Structures are given as structure tokens and as C-alpha cells.
């Protein structure tokens, strides 16, 4: 093993040991965290170590030659380093972190956990970055009395829930001589939908018709009339002018051809394993939603009625994501 590999392995083990010690010391965090002095750690960066060695060499030279100006420059640089250390630590002190949500993603995509940083002090905070699993966000400034939203990106492989792993909040401002950081252990999750199957597999005739009456694909060609809105209908179809006049929540319908209501049945897919079935059902749900069709979903332990709109699609995809099985839980260890 090369020297660089050995050094990298030792640094990784040391970092993990420090992180475990910090977890035992701090415990689990709430979804809102305020950074206090006792949980902020600080060490010199590589550039800071070089700077310290240079100042020490200048001190030795000053002692050897007894040059007053060399003494003055050495102590000036020493004071500058101490002031930088103080400001770097205070750049994190008092910041408030809050989990601001995570949009569901499909397996194989990156989950993006939104973390809001609030600064209630009178001084702006500069070059704040978040990092997890070897990935770091772009540095951001947080103005006085303001808020900045950063993202912790976590790769996903399987459906289910992926947990927000331990992440760091760090800064090297000012001067990049020191790095101040803290560890945060929030109990937050992001829902991961099954990976959609490739398009092209036709829906079985039984699922496509299902004995239901035909319904119109809601295109934008011909206005067909109004009907009372039901849960799951897309908000963009609401007739707001009619609502203002009558107080009834009505939905605009358009005719663009006739198509049967689809109920995608788990049992219509035979000869495939669980994950492949879930992937194919996900694909059919996405295709039906993209076409504006009403559809339902029938699983062995759950049946979701016919509906349409984004909320209905999310309900169906969430049921597929949380279907019991080998890949039903993907929580990452913190």
C-alpha cells in the first residue's frame, strides 16, 4: 500500500473516531439546532500549519540575530493568527440550523436535504458549507438577520426511506488559516420511490379497462364542461372564476379523445420478482399521470382508488416505495 493510501486511511479512521466521540458527547439533535460554543471544534488547516511553522522559523531567526524589526514582524503575524482563530470560531457561533424538507426522488438519484441556516446576530457569517459522505456544498454567506438554504446531497440506491446522515457545518473564514466545524445528527428522512422501468411495456388489457366506463384524457383541445372537484384533482384545473361567483369548487374538463380508466394491478404482472413489479407499476403510474389519465393502484395489502393529479400520483408512488420487502428500508446509519 502506498504512503498516500496509508495516510488517507489513517485520516479517515481518525475522523470517524472523532465523529463517534462527538456523537456520544452531543447525542441526537432535533430538527432545529443552535450552534453553541461547546460543540464547535477548530483546528489549523494545512495552510495554517505552514503559516505557524513560518512564524516559528522567524522567531528563531529573530532570537539568533537579535533584529528588533524581525521581532516586531513575528509578533504581528502571531497576533494576526490568533485574531483569525477567534473570528473563525465566532463565524459559526450562534447560527441556527433547521431541516427544511427533502423532495422525494427515484432510486438512483441523489436525495437533497434542505438545511436552512438562520443568522440572528448583527454580524454577517461568511463561507459556510455543509458536508456529508465526502460531498460538500458550495460555500454560502448568511447576512445579518437573514437565512440561507444549503443542501446535503446523499446518493440513493434502493426504494424506501433514506436517512439524513451525520453532516458537518464548517467554515474557513477568514484567511483559510483555521477550519471550524461541528457535527450535526438530525433525525430526518427522504422518501425514495422505486426506480421506474424502461418505457414500452404495454399495460395488460385487464388493467387498462378493468370494467370501468371510459373517461376523457384531459387534453387542452376542447372544453368539455365543469364538474365538482374531488380530492386528488390537479389545482391548475380549478375554475377559480366560477368559484368566486358561486362558492363551489369546480374543475374544468377538456376532451381530447376517449381512454379507459386504468387500475394497475399487482397480479397482472406474472413471472417477475417483487422489485421488477414495483418498477413497472411505477412506470405505468408515471405514464398515466403524464397523459392526464385517471388511474388506480391495487397491491396485495392495499388498494388506492382511481384519481388524478400530483397528490394522487405521490400517494401511489409512496405506496410502491414502502411496499414490504427486502428493499423497503434504506435508512443510512448516522
Q: What is the pLDDT of residue 261?
A: 72
Domain boundaries, the chain: 31-192, 194-217+257-334, 221-255
**CA distances (Å), 162 to each of 33, 196, 235, in order?**
21, 18, 29
Task: Tell whether omega for the bond before 92 is within 30 degrees of 0, i.e. cis.
Answer: no
Task: Give the CATH fold of the 31-192 domain.
Answer: Immunoglobulin-like (2.60.40)
Question: Rounded CA gap, 248 and 198, in Å?
Answer: 41
SS3 288: helix
Q: Which of these, 268, 251, 142, lies nearest to 201 by C-alpha position?
A: 268
- Residue whose C-alpha cell is 441556527: 96
- The pTM score is 0.73
DSSP letter at 139? P
DSSP letter at 8? H
**CA distances (Å), 175 to each of 84, 140, 172, 287, in order?**
7, 16, 7, 53
- Other Cβ atoms within 10 Å of 278 Cβ, number: 29
Question: Rounded CA gap, 225 and 251, in Å?
Answer: 8
Give the phi and the psi of residue 132 in degrees, each rounded to 5: -155, 140
Q: What is the dihedral of CA 229, 230, 236, 237, to 10 degrees?
A: -40
Q: Is 42 exposed, middle or buried (0-12, 13-18, 19+ CB in 10 A)?
A: middle
Cell of 99: 431541516
Mean pLDDT (10-residue bins), the chain, 334 residues:
61 70 70 88 92 93 87 92 93 92 92 93 92 84 92 91 90 91 90 90 62 42 61 64 68 57 84 88 89 86 86 92 68 41
Question: Rounded CA gap, 265 and 302, in Å?
Answer: 11
Cell of 210: 378493468
- Other Cβ atoms within 10 Å of 253 Cβ, number: 16
SS3 251: strand
Question: Rounded CA gap, 281 and 296, in Å?
Answer: 11
Q: Which of these, 207, 211, 316, lies nearest to 270 by C-alpha position?
A: 207
Q: What is the pLDDT of residue 30?
A: 81
Amino acid at each position: 500500500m502506498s504512503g498516500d493510501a496509508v495516510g488517507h486511511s489513517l485520516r479517515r479512521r481518525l475522523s470517524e473516531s472523532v465523529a463517534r466521540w462527538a456523537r456520544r458527547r452531543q447525542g441526537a439533535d432535533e430538527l432545529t439546532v443552535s450552534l453553541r460554543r461547546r460543540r464547535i471544534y477548530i483546528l489549523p488547516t494545512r495552510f495554517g500549519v505552514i503559516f505557524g511553522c513560518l512564524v516559528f522559523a522567524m522567531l528563531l531567526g529573530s532570537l539568533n540575530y537579535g533584529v528588533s524589526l524581525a521581532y516586531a514582524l513575528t509578533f504581528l503575524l502571531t497576533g494576526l493568527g490568533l485574531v483569525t482563530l477567534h473570528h473563525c470560531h465566532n463565524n459559526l457561533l450562534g447560527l441556527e440550523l433547521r431541516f427544511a424538507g427533502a423532495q422525494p426522488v427515484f432510486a438512483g438519484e441523489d436525495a437533497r436535504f434542505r438545511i436552512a441556516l438562520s443568522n440572528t446576530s448583527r454580524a454577517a457569517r461568511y463561507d459556510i458549507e455543509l458536508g456529508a459522505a465526502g460531498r460538500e456544498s458550495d460555500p454560502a454567506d448568511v447576512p445579518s438577520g437573514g437565512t440561507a438554504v444549503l443542501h446535503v446531497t446523499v446518493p440513493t440506491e434502493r426504494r424506501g426511506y433514506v436517512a439524513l446522515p451525520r453532516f458537518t457545518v464548517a467554515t474557513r473564514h477568514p484567511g483559510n488559516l483555521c477550519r471550524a466545524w461541528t457535527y450535526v445528527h438530525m433525525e430526518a428522512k427522504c422518501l425514495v420511490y422505486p426506480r421506474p422501468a424502461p418505457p414500452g411495456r404495454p399495460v395488460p388489457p385487464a388493467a387498462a379497462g378493468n370494467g370501468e366506463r371510459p373517461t376523457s384524457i384531459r387534453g387542452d383541445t376542447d372544453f368539455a364542461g365543469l364538474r365538482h372537484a374531488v380530492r386528488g384533482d390537479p389545482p391548475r384545473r380549478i375554475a377559480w372564476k366560477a368559484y368566486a361567483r358561486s362558492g363551489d369548487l369546480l374543475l374544468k374538463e377538456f376532451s381530447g379523445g376517449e381512454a379507459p380508466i386504468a387500475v394497475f394491478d399487482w397480479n397482472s404482472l406474472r413471472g417477475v420478482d417483487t422489485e421488477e413489479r414495483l418498477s413497472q407499476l411505477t412506470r405505468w403510474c408515471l405514464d398515466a399521470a403524464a397523459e392526464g389519465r385517471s388511474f388506480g393502484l391495487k397491491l396485495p395489502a392495499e388498494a388506492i382508488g382511481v384519481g388524478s393529479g400530483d397528490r394522487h400520483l405521490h400517494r401511489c408512488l409512496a405506496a410502491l416505495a414502502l411496499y414490504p420487502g427486502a428493499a423497503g428500508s434504506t435508512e443510512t446509519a448516522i
